Each structure stands twice: as structure tokens, then as C-alpha cells.
Structure 1
């Protein structure tokens, strides 16, 4: 087999592995109502099956990127896929919801190895074959975008035909296939740093990771009022922990999150901030709408997945269009146009407070797919042009974390607005929140300029 053929097959395996994280983050959207019924939960409680996944992913992406650099991307990719396969084989037998959330967190940690490892391996293969890395990286980006978009469709079919357990079991063959393909055709890892376990623990900034996750966890518990009577204590504790996290990260080398990178790069900071707020708007629809359709309209999960299909189709179609538009008009113009459309569509979602007719739902999900595809790829490119080449690995890890922070924000707010269930009244509050957040994203985008130095 020629190097070109091996590279093509390796990219396919890497694309499959990287797709598992966005796929699993979105498939669960159509299973929330079923999980609530099976485990006797309210809306705020069931969102932890999403939040646990995003917390683990947010912390795991930068950490796994650092481990891939240290111990080898191929080795870390295969370890991650093995962890996903084992976890998902046992998760359907979880006796309670808490263990199910733990399984989701472990699965997220395994899938978090894929993207940073793939980026490093593609760079190595591109140098070996004397080719540009943009095309294989583009294929991975398309795999991520497509997987996130089609997740509700696949999830709806699996939940409708088998049950929520199938959302875990489907990962076993997919993870094993990715592992075997990469093991067979991806290049061997070169010589890597081999330090002691003590050095690994020291350099991994474990206190920083715990501070990041802990502050998010305490703030979410306060917002969801998990412990009645202690909301303000939890919020205060989360704020103090966040301040300590910032203090440590500014003094530790190498930090879990390079906050100095943001401090000296205003364009990059604006990209991150805008993308995090944009993601919160999008995930309001992604996780809130399936619950609305199932609880109020009575649609089964399979039908809900199909009703979300236009979002998948339009986001995939919008991605190459956005690439061509960026080449002609620039990244900023595509961002401004995409965010403007996002805010408009968010406002149109209010129509669902009066009717849940299938044609209306199909039209609105199709419209939402356009800004999702356009803003996602434009934000990614905005991050790229706002960063120096030697910083792009770290920048990419933080960019992914911003996506998860936005998704966590959306799930928390859904729990706040719809603690007793998602109905048309609570959906109206969500629409108002989406419009406000869309306007904030638009204002942030107007401030962004491409870095000139």
C-alpha cells in the first residue's frame, strides 16, 4: 500500500474517532425524556447526563493534547478508543443514574483523546508525504460537524427501536474500528519524552484541572438549586474557586489553560468568547427542542430525530459555502452574517409556542442549520488566523473547551427555565434567552478583527 493510500485510510480512522465526541454529545438529546421516565428524574436532574459529558470533555481536551505530545498521539488515540469501547460495553447495565453519568464522563475522557491526537498525527503524515495539511484537517472538521448534526437522527432511531442503552452500545464497534484502522495504517510514534509518574502528575497541572471542573460544578449546582438553602454558599464557593484557578494558572508552567495566551491576544479572546456564547444559543435548540417535541407534541424519539434532520443537512451544506464565502469576503463578514442569521432564527423559534406542526418544525430546524455550519467553521478559521503557528495546538484545545462551556451553560439554563418539564411557556423563556445571547454574540463579533502582526 502506498503512503498516499495509507494516509487516506488513516485519516478515515482518525475522522471516525474524532466524530465520537460530537456524536455522543448530540445523540443524547432525544433520550432525555426516556431517561427521565426510566430513572424517575426531573428536567434539572436529567441534564447531568449531558453536563457530566461536557465537563469531562472540557477538562480532557487540553490535557489529552499535552499527553499526546508527551507520550505519542497514536498511542493516546488507541488508548482513548479502547477506553470508550470498554466503558460503553458496560454502561447500559448501570443500576442507577449516578453511575450512568460517571460512565458518560469516562466515555467523554476517552473521546477527548481523539481530536488533539489526530491533529498531531496529520501534521506528521503531511510532512512525511510532502502535502498540505489543510485538506485532511478539513475532512476531520467535516466529520465533527456532520456527527454533531446527525446525532439526534441516529439517536432518535436507536432510542425508538432499542432504547437509550443503544446509545452506548453503538460506540463499541465504532471505537474498535477506529482503533484497529489507526493501529494498522497510522505511522508509529517517534521518540517521546519519558518521565516518571511523579513528573507526569506535576506537569499535568492536576490542581488546575480540579479547580476548573470544581468551579463549574459548584456554579451549576447553585444555578440548579441542587441543595436547597445553600445556593448562595455554592455560588460563592464556585466564585472563590474560579479566582484561585485563575491565580494558579497565571503562575504555573505549563498551565492547564494558558490564560496568558488570551491576555496578550485580544482577537483570540474575542473569538473564544463569541464562540462560547454562540454555542450556548445553539445548544438551547439542540437539547431543548427535542424535549419540547416529545413532551408537548407527543412525538416519539424516532420522529423527533427525523425532525432534527434538516439541521444536519443544512449545517453540512453551509460549511463548504462558508469556506468559499470566507475566501471571497473574509472571515469577519461571514461571522457577522452567520451570527445575525442565528439571532433572527432564535427569534423565529418563538413560533413554536403557538404551534408544533411538523412543517414549521422542519423549516426552523433547517434555518438553524445554516448559521451553525457557517459560524462554526468561521470561528474555527478566526481562531486560526488570530494565533501564531507555535501556539495553535494550545489554542485549538481551548477553542474546543469554549464549545463545551457554551453547551454546559445551555443545559444549566434549560434546567433553570424548565425545572418541571419543557412546555411552550418555558420554551418562550428560552427563546428570550437565546435572542439576548444572540445579540451579545453579534456585538462581540463586531469587535473582532483579524490579527495583523
Structure 2
């Protein structure tokens, strides 16, 4: 029986099947964050909503995911990753079974928030289990990480296509119901084949509650939510008040964490862990560049290029397809050349791809667009897996859950920052001139990512 995570298949291999279950669970978050986009028009018609209101079904998911990831990571570190993964999948399955019967749009948004909270358990839990799975399969940690990365990229790419088919054949309700069999499959695989949790904190409920740093957690989540609401401008006219409140809560959070033992987030340790800080900074900036293209390019192709939405979806598919194909090659390169060299190479590819986007100021030819979206898929696959491995190497095993949660939050912060900047640049019109200005910003951010990547060293 094979012990490999390689392309030869996972068959009866326990570790491979466990990774398959974890990959399926982690894919639910990007899948549900992307396929809902095709249901917005149908939701507006069914519930009688305007354009601004219907976007709350997306905002609720993003806010809860970004705030919930670090919290779920903390719980995975304390009480066991497999246990937390199972609870998260149960929450998703129950929520998605009931959501189609939502009596109004507000309840539907609440259901989306619960979905986000449940799916937020998957990635931190998977990262905490990676070490045990790698030892069980007798492979390097890059192999299971690569599988998880491929599942996430594939889900994000397939989301709009799957969502379009489901909404067209059944309705928006199918976007929730499809999660029930997927979560059940993930639960069965992880329950049967993932290693049991090594330990679980025990004690009186009052003691566990006291040691959980509830005020620190609330301050962290509150600051993050307020800042993100300000960036998304979900309450027009109150953006600066939200931002001020977020900064105030962030200050209180820092004050609290420096004085409480054990803290939710050990800021002193984080301050001493320069590699981890650089991973976070580089990943957030990288996602800022990537989502500049991911969100900005489809609008450009529709408004300035006059392509139909369905055609635009097909034109964007090479991005995800190439990122999935390149991930196994990046995994092998990391094993051979090390994380830093692969990371730096990926960022150089990112800068090159960003620069090539300038060609769209002159032409929207189908062949050119397909080539450029495929080119952008290269750095996404390479930098994503290298950053994941950099995170893994930069943290101790007992810290990986909360570290992975914050890592995912960096992804959301980069994506949301990109959408805000896109709104600024496209404010005067979605045209090739403004796209050229956005390309300059992408190049500038890419240069900063390169400097951060060059400064990163594996933590000893």
C-alpha cells in the first residue's frame, strides 16, 4: 500500500483520504464565497431588493469568515483540530439544510454568516493536522498543503460555473443544499481516516472560560469587523466613525494582550517572530495585487470590452486552471530548492504578469485575454503554496491554528483593500485609461511584496 500523496492516487491510503476530506472541507469557504455571485439577480427578484441591499449576502459571509478564522484557529489549538472540524461541518450541514426555507432576506444573511463560521473551522484545523498527516504518510508537509491549496483554487474557479448551473436548474436554494452532501462526505473521511486529537484541555467550565481571554477575542473580532465595514462602506456616511471605533478597539486589544496570560494572540511572541510577520505582510499585499486583477478585469472586459458576462467567466477560467496545474510543480520545487527561492520566483512572476496586463490598454482580443489570465495563474499557484509552507515553517505546532486563522484573514484584507481601490480608480469610469493606472498600482505593490519575500528567512 502506497504512502504517497503524489499523483499516483490516494486509494486506500489513510493519510491521503484524510487529506481529501480536509481539502473538501477547506474548499467550502471559497466555493460558497464565489458561487453566490451568480444568484444576486435572482435573490433581488425573489425578495424584492435593491442592488445595495442584496450585497449583504456577500458582506455577511466575508465579515464572519475574516473575523472567525483566527478564533477557530485558537479553538483548534486548544481543544483539538479534528473535533473542531467535525463541529464546523455539522454547523454548515444543519444551516444549509434549513436556509432554503428562510422566510426573509435578513434570515438568509444570518444563515450565510453561520455558514461562514462553520467553514472557517476547516483551514485552521487542516493546518494543525498537517504535521501528523505528513508523518503518517511519510512525506514532507508540502504535499498535503499542496493538495489543500489545489482544492481551494479549484473551488474558487468552479464556484461561478457550478452556481450558474444550480441556479438555472433549481434556484438559489440549491446553493445551500449542495453543501449538505459535501459536508457529510468531508465529515466521514476525516472521522474515519484523520489522526485522533492528541490532547484536549480539561477543567471546570469557569476555569476554561477565564483562561480563554474572552475580552481579548471580542476586542480583536470587533476591531476587525469595524475596520472591514469601514473599508467596504457598508454604512454610507458612517465610514470614518466605524474606522475610528475599529482603531480604538485595536488599541484596547493590544493593551489587553500585553497584560493577560495566556493571551489570545501573544503579541510579544509575534513581535519576536519576524518570519511570521513577513509571511502575513507579504500574503496580504500579494492578495491585494491578485484581487486587483481578479475583481477589476471582469468589469473591464464587460464594460469597456463589451463581452457578455458568460463569456467573461470563460475568459477568466485559465487563471484558476493554471494555478491548479502549477501547484504540484511548486510543491516539488519547494522540496528541492526551499521555500524562499520558490516564493521569490513566484513574486517575480507576479510582477511580470502585472506588467503584461498593460497590454489590455491597447486590445481586448480573446487570445490576448486568455494568455494574460493564464499567465496570472502561475504566480497565484506558486506564491500561495509557498506562503502556506512559509506559515507552517514559521510557527510552532501549538500555535499553528491561530496562525493559520490570521493567515486567512490576511487574504480577506488584501481582497477587500483591492475592491476599495478598484472602486476609487473606476469611479470616473471603467475604461482602459483607468486600467492602466491600476496596473501601475499592481506593479508598485508587487515590488513591495518582492522586498518582503527577499527579507523572509526560515525560522530556526
**TM-score above 0.5, yes or no:** yes
TM norm structure 1: 0.84
Separation in 1 of the partners of 2:245 and 2:392? 35
What residue in structure 2 maps to residue 321 of structure 1?
Answer: 329
**Aligned ranges 1:170-209 → 2 under 5 Å:** 170-189=178-197, 192-209=200-217
Distance 1:274 1:137, change over 3 A: closer
Distance 1:192 1:389, change over 3 A: closer
Contact 1:280 1:409 in 2 (8 A): yes
Where does structure 2 lack aligned partners over 5 or more consecutive residues?
Answer: 4-11
Task: Pick from 253, 261, 270 the counterpart of residue 262 of structure 1.
Answer: 270
Which moved further from structure 2: 146-155 or 357-366?
146-155
What residue in structure 2 maps to residue 12 of structure 1?
Answer: 20
Distance 1:120 1:323, change over 3 A: closer
Q: What do residues 59-84 of structure 1 show as CA deviations (whole Å, max 9, x unaligned)?
A: 32332233234444333222211211
Task: Pick from 244, 248, 252 the counterpart of residue 244 of structure 1.
Answer: 252
Contact 1:208 1:249 in 2 (8 A): yes
What residue in structure 2 maps to residue 273 of structure 1?
Answer: 281
What residue in structure 1 maps to residue 376 of structure 2?
Answer: 368
1:286 aligns with 2:294: yes
Deviation at 1:427, TM superposition (A): 4.7
Separation in 2 of the partners of 1:415 and 1:103? 28
What residue in structure 2 maps to residue 443 of structure 1?
Answer: 451
Where does structure 1 lack aligned partners over 5 or more consecutive residues?
Answer: none
What residue in structure 1 maps to residue 320 of structure 2?
Answer: 312
Deviation at 1:379, TM superposition (A): 1.5
Deviation at 1:375, TM superposition (A): 0.8
Distance 1:172 1:297, change over 3 A: farther
**Aligned ranges 1:45-194 → 2 under 5 Å:** 48-94=56-102, 97-121=105-129, 123-124=131-132, 129=136, 131-132=138-139, 134=141, 135-159=143-167, 162-189=170-197, 192-194=200-202
Separation in 2 of the partners of 1:423 and 1:408? 21
What residue in structure 1 maps to residue 9 of structure 2?
Answer: none
1:21 aligns with 2:29: yes
Which moved further from structure 2: 180-189 or 17-26?
180-189
SS in 2 for 1:308: helix
Contact 1:296 1:423 in 2 (8 A): yes
Separation in 1 of the partners of 2:327 and 2:269? 28
Separation in 2 of the partners of 1:431 and 1:403? 20
Contact 1:155 1:305 in 2 (8 A): no
Deviation at 1:432, TM superposition (A): 4.2
Task: Pick from 388, 394, 397 the counterpart of residue 405 of structure 2.
Answer: 397
Q: What do residues 219-262 of structure 1 show as CA deviations (whole Å, max 9, x unaligned)?
A: 34444544454443333222222222222222333333332232
Separation in 1 of the partners of 2:198 and 2:398? 20
Distance 1:280 1:178, change over 3 A: same
Contact 1:156 1:303 in 2 (8 A): no
1:332 aligns with 2:353: no
Contact 2:92 2:118 in 1 (8 A): yes
Deviation at 1:297, TM superposition (A): 5.3
Separation in 1 of the partners of 2:333 and 2:137? 28
Separation in 2 of the partners of 1:417 and 1:90? 40
Which moved further from structure 2: 244-253 or 269-278?
244-253
Distance 1:434 1:132, change over 3 A: same
How many residues are matched? 450
Distance 1:152 1:291, change over 3 A: farther
SS in 1 for 2:66: helix
Q: What do residues 312-369 of structure 1 show as CA deviations (whole Å, max 9, x unaligned)?
A: 2210122222233334544333322322322332343344455544333322211110
SS in 1 for 2:200: coil
Contact 1:283 1:407 in 2 (8 A): yes
Distance 1:37 1:220, change over 3 A: farther
Contact 2:63 2:228 in 1 (8 A): no
1:343 aligns with 2:355: no
TM norm structure 2: 0.83
What residue in structure 2 maps to residue 382 of structure 1?
Answer: 390
What residue in structure 1 maps to residue 7 of structure 2?
Answer: none
Separation in 2 of the partners of 1:302 and 1:432? 28
